[in-house]
């Protein structure tokens, strides 16, 4: 039976941090603020996969109060979500995600993001969909104060 989960994440843009999205470092004068590398795309995907499994969110598994996760690569979180799918005798069907950012342009980095995400989840890049949009200058995203991401994941689990 196919189960579907949804994930959402948002982080503020700040000076002095690298911008990591989808596991890819993107040249930009600001990066995302957070306890880990603050990769909003990987966080949203992780929550979507965990949601499809009926489990808690990334904050429960990897709390920002735990010093082990300080500046950690979010790939670790995604790999744990994939491990949990395998432990449940499941199979990740697909992931579809959208990055919402006024700047920088995301499209030139999508192929590399898909490769990175697919490798972390042990699937093919064809099973990963990534899109990007702006907020048309509105709200915190439009003012370039932060970046958000939404993701949906489908996991085939035994009944």
pLDDT tens across 63-75, in order?
Answer: 888 878 888 899 9
The model's pTM = 0.96
CA atoms within 13 A on the CB side of 138: 3
Cβ-based neighbours of 102, under 8 Å, separated by 6 or more: 134, 135, 137, 141, 142, 143, 144
pLDDT at position 60, please? 87
Cβ distance 53 to 3 under 8 Å?
A: yes
Report the topology of domain 2-132+141-156. 60s Ribosomal Protein L30; Chain: A; (3.30.1330)
Please name the residue that has the structure tokens 């994941």: 153
Cβ-based neighbours of 61, under 8 Å, separated by 6 or more: 50, 55, 77, 80
Q: Is the dihedral of CA 75, 23, 129, 120 positive or negative?
A: negative
pLDDT tens per residue across span 135-156: 999 999 999 999 999 999 999 9
Report DSSP letters for 67-122, one per residue: GGGTT--THHHHHHHHHHHHHTT-EEEEEEEEEE-SSS--GGGHHHHHHHHHHHHT
């Amino acid at each position: 039976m196919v189960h579907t989960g949804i994930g959402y994440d948002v982080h503020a843009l700040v000076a002095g941090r690298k911008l990591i999205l989808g596991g890819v470092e993107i040249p930009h004068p600001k990066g995302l603020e957070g306890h880990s590398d603050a990769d909003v795309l990987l966080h949203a995907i992780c929550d979507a996969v965990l949601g499809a499994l009926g489990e808690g969110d990334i904050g429960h598994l990897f709390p920002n109060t735990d010093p082990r996760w300080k500046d950690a690569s979010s790939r670790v979180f995604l790999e744990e979500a994939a491990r949990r799918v395998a432990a449940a005798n499941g199979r990740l069907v697909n992931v579809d995600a959208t990055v919402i950012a006024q700047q920088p342009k995301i499209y030139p980095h999508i192929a590399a993001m898909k490769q990175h995400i697919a490798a972390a989840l042990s699937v093919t890049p064809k099973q990963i969909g990534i899109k990007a949009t702006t907020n048309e200058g509105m709200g915190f995203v439009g003012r370039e104060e932060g970046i958000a991401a939404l993701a949906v994941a489908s996991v085939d689990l035994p009944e």
